[in-house]
Structure 1
Amino acid sequence: MTGVWLGVDVGTVRVGVARSDPAGVLATPLVTLRRDAHANRDIAELAALVAEHGAVGVVVGLPRTLAGREGPSARFAREYAALLAAAIDPIRVEHVDERLTTVSAERKLSEGGVRGSRAKRAVIDQAAAVELLQHWLDSRRD
């Protein structure tokens, strides 16, 4: 578990990325990438981030319904994770349940004084990536 992990909140328009510290204790925001469904430039950018940060693994959020089922968004996330896994092999790619991470991230941003939808859009995907990565890191320590 030790080493840097990246957390990825993948959407159809943007991809939020977070990074852990080398001890695997704390997740922090890293960057928001523009999703490129045609040429997959965002996959290449993620692979470059994995190399740049010396990541030992990547955690991709898996959006499930409140009932725990997987729908089209989860299938999209799994396909995205498979593309990423092929690009960064042999680095591990794992999934984490990301239910309510965006809601939680939005609430924390509002509580932190981030106002306006434009400002929020600029950081919400990174904040959601932090939420899902932090949840994954915490679950590994328990």
Structure 2
Amino acid sequence: MTSTQKQAFHVPLADLLDLPGKARLLGLDLGTKTIGLALSDVTRRVASPLETIRRTKFSADAARLLDLAEQHGVGGLVIGWPLNMDGSEGPRTQATGAFVRNLAKLTAVPMALWDERLSTVAVTRMLIDADASRARRGELVDKIAATYILQGALDRLEGLRRERRPEEAD
């Protein structure tokens, strides 16, 4: 997928700075069997795990996702973009792109892509270090990976906010 094709269904992360007031962000870690979800606070500075959706079919998954977005006052989505370690796009990236394109047909909520390389590895290591059992890791890894993805994006947004402040003072 070319960058022109990506532009058709997502916005640059910086566009999420311009969301209204207390709109939250929802982070997604799209897996083949589950979708991990994380939610920001209303100041868009802290990410917290929300839930894991067991994937069934797109329409049901999208309905649940959009219902949660509405319930929590979500103004934007941050979706993990599963690039290969060398930065190339593979089958998981293509599947994520298809999901996002289809979701974009159902909602006007802006969606930003965030490089998720190593997020699941980092989260799994953290859970192992916390002595979580294999079963417990399986329960938690997707929504914590979504939290890791969302927090990375929130930290970048905070940096962009700081860069923008001097201009706003002019």
Tell me if TM exceeds 0.5.
yes
Residue 40 of structure 1, CA deviation:
2.6
Residue 113 of structure 1, CA deviation:
2.8
**What is the TM-score normalised by the length of structure 2?**
0.78
The match for 2:163 is: none
The match for 1:63 is: 82
Query: Structure 1, residues 54-110: CA drift from partner, whole Å, max 9, x if none?
Result: 10101111100111111110011111112222222x210111100000001111112
Which SS does the other structure have where 1:87 is aligned? Answer: coil
Q: State the alpha-carbon separation in 1 of the partners of residues 113 and 97 from structure 2.
A: 8
**What is the TM-score normalised by the length of structure 1?**
0.93
Which SS does the other structure have where 1:58 is aligned? Answer: strand
Which SS does the other structure have where 1:22 is aligned? Answer: coil
Equivalent of 2:140 in 118, 123, 131: 123
Asked if the contact 1:4/1:56 (under 8 Å) is kept, the reply is yes
The match for 2:156 is: 139
The match for 1:21 is: 41
Asked if the contact 1:7/1:17 (under 8 Å) is kept, the reply is yes
Query: Structure 1, residues 96-139: CA drift from partner, whole Å, max 9, x if none?
Result: 100000001111112223122x2111110001100110111111
Using the aligned pairs only, state the percent identity: 33
Which SS does the other structure have where 1:41 is aligned? Answer: helix
Equivalent of 1:76 in 92, 95, 108: 95
Equivalent of 2:54 in 18, 24, 34: 34
* Regions of 4+ moved over 4 Å: none
- Structure label with greater radius of gyration: 2
How many residues were matched structurally?
139
The match for 1:87 is: 106
Asked if the contact 1:47/1:84 (under 8 Å) is kept, the reply is no
* RMSD, matched Cα: 1.2
Q: State the alpha-carbon separation in 2 of the partners of residues 109 and 82 from structure 1.
A: 32
